[in-house]
Chain A
Amino acid sequence: MNPVSYQRASSLTEAVRMAGTSRLLGGGTNLVDLMRKGVERPSLLTDVTALSAAIEETEAGGLLIGAAARNSSVAAHPLVRTRYPMLSRAILAGASAQVRNMATVGGNLMQRTRCLYFADVAGSRCNKREPGSGCDAAGGFNRYHAIVGASSACTATHPSDMCVALAALDASVRIVGPAGERTVPLVDFHRLPSDRPELETVLEPGEVIEAVEIPASPFAARSGYRKVRDRASYAFALVSVAAELTLREGRIDEIRIAFGGIAPKPWRAYRAEAALRGSGPSGEAFLAAAALELADAAPLAGNAFKIELAKRTLGAVLTDLTGDDR
């Protein structure tokens, strides 16, 4: 690991002042690992875990979650468990209890891909790590890679479970920088790679994530998160689905769906949502909507199975959510 200095920001203002000349450090579960691997080489770290970790109701009946809130605190919070159970479930599907105790909400949003070639500084080419160097995943081990939204430069996936639920919940990200404060919808926070895979989010240098805001949601009763992976726990998603809906007179009224594990960012399934809105719930309708969403899927040699897996996972989740026992 390169030599590095360490400082703590005691307030948001201080963090913004320090952000321009240093790298922010949350729980360290991603950054410290990548520093040890030589992927990240900051010379100065600013610990931002003293920023707000509060989880509180907004006036509009939503929820505001401070960037320093630990993943475990969010998942266990009574308001999250009762009003946004899908978010609790998604966070609890990720990593281990130890990692969730350390990981912050800001760090979770900003975590980098788990593509093996990205992490292998000594042996692999990677356009994300070293722009223009090439991509060894394209002809290599790409079981975990993207089937939608990728580019010829990069097919790495965004690994977060939490962000998939936040995408379906219409959450937004509050950002503070030298020029002031702005709010970005979570679905626009992460970028698709195109020919610049090293640019992963819309966060500008010197900006700090302050909080995540979730609007009030009428969906709690019919919402869920399901993750399919290579082992039963403590593994990244092959495919995951966050979905929530309401029914009216036996038909789907409102519906929001997001996929994880299949794209470079949390993948909000607008096409599938539009196809299902107003329709009667049935296995055929669910699969047809999923097929429509994935019509442009461009799988690699090792991950074509994800198309069928994503369709069936969505079908299973929606069948469960539209059942009578909800």
Chain B
Amino acid sequence: MAIRVNGTEVASPDDARVSLLDHLREGLHLTGTKVGCNQGACGACTVLLDGQRVLSCLTLAVQADGREVTTIEGLAEGDGLHPLQGAFIEHDGFQCGYCTPGQICAASAMLRELAEGVPSYVTADLAQERILLSREEIRERMSGNLCRCGAHNGIVDAIFQVATEKAA
């Protein structure tokens, strides 16, 4: 069996204990995805699995067999920046940058969820099909990604900008 990582087929590890996170970093040398807590609590290891944001530290690599993984290295098309990457630079959405790949992968999936009308805990009326964009919505939807440098205000501004440009 094989996993598709950023469009390329790679073998899954023989040892079923290997997490998708370790497989990406140690096996494939895709070190953009970061190890934070290694227990689901920080979001630094966020990648997209068949387009959905997931935690690669709590995913066994064998669970990704036959599926498509997108990491920060595969998010932008070509050599240019992904709009979120540009917005993070513009709005100081990071200091040390350790949480940033996870933040940006999570945010890219979050923008799609917003567009699809997926509700959050702070969505007032769950029956409504269109989500009213607000900073509160972004904060709640991004709560799975911690930033120990405290760049959250810049992160929210960056995502807000890309979300409004997208909607326009």
Contact of A28 among B43, B60, B113, B127 (CB under 8 A): B60
Q: Is the CB of A4 within 8 A of B16?
A: yes
Cβ of B144 < 8 Å from any Cβ of A? yes
Cβ of B141 < 8 Å from any Cβ of A? yes
Total A-B pairs, Cβ < 8 A: 97
CB neighbors of A among B100-150 (8 A): 106, 109-110, 113, 116, 118-121, 123, 126-127, 139-141, 143-145
Known interface pairs A4-B16, A45-B16. Does A96 touch B43 (Cβ–Cβ under 8 Å)?
yes
Contact of B119 among A6, A27, A81 (CB under 8 A): A81
Q: Is the CB of A6 within 8 A of B120?
A: no
B-side interface size class: 35 or more
CB neighbors of B among A105-126 (8 A): none
Cβ of A244 < 8 Å from any Cβ of B? no
The chain B residue sitting closest to A80, CB to CB, is B126
Q: Is the CB of A97 within 8 A of B106?
A: yes
CB neighbors of A among B28-82 (8 A): 38-40, 43, 46, 49, 52-55, 58-60, 62-63
A-side interface size class: 35 or more
Cβ of A72 < 8 Å from any Cβ of B? yes
**In the complex, how many angstroms separate the beta carbon of A110 from the nearest chain B beta carbon?**
15
**In the complex, how many angstroms separate the beta carbon of B44 from the nearest chain A beta carbon?**
11
Contact with B along A16-58 (1 / 0, CB 8 A): 0000000001011100110111000000010101000000000
- 30 chain-A/chain-B pairs, Cβ below 8 angstroms: A3-B15, A4-B16, A5-B16, A25-B60, A27-B58, A28-B59, A29-B40, A29-B58, A32-B59, A32-B60, A33-B39, A35-B17, A36-B39, A47-B63, A81-B119, A81-B127, A92-B123, A96-B143, A97-B53, A97-B106, A97-B109, A97-B141, A98-B43, A98-B53, A98-B55, A98-B106, A101-B52, A102-B59, A233-B121, A234-B144
Cβ of A202 < 8 Å from any Cβ of B? no
Cβ of B19 < 8 Å from any Cβ of A? yes
**In the complex, how many angstroms separate the beta carbon of A243 from the nearest chain B beta carbon?**
16
Contact of A97 among B16, B40, B144 (CB under 8 A): B144
**In the complex, how many angstroms separate the beta carbon of B117 from the nearest chain A beta carbon?**
8
Q: Is the CB of A28 within 8 A of B58?
A: yes
Cβ of A76 < 8 Å from any Cβ of B? yes
Cβ of A85 < 8 Å from any Cβ of B? yes
Cβ of A89 < 8 Å from any Cβ of B? yes
CB neighbors of B among A126-149 (8 A): none
The chain B residue sitting closest to A29, CB to CB, is B58
The chain A residue sitting closest to B15, CB to CB, is A3
Which A residues lie within 8 Å of B17 (CB)?
Answer: 1-4, 35
Which A residues lie within 8 Å of B143 (CB)?
Answer: 96, 232-234
Docked pose: A72 CA to B141 CA in angstroms: 12
Which A residues lie within 8 Å of B118 (CB)?
Answer: 72, 76
Known interface pairs A4-B16, A4-B17, A89-B126. Does A102 touch B38 (Cβ–Cβ under 8 Å)?
no
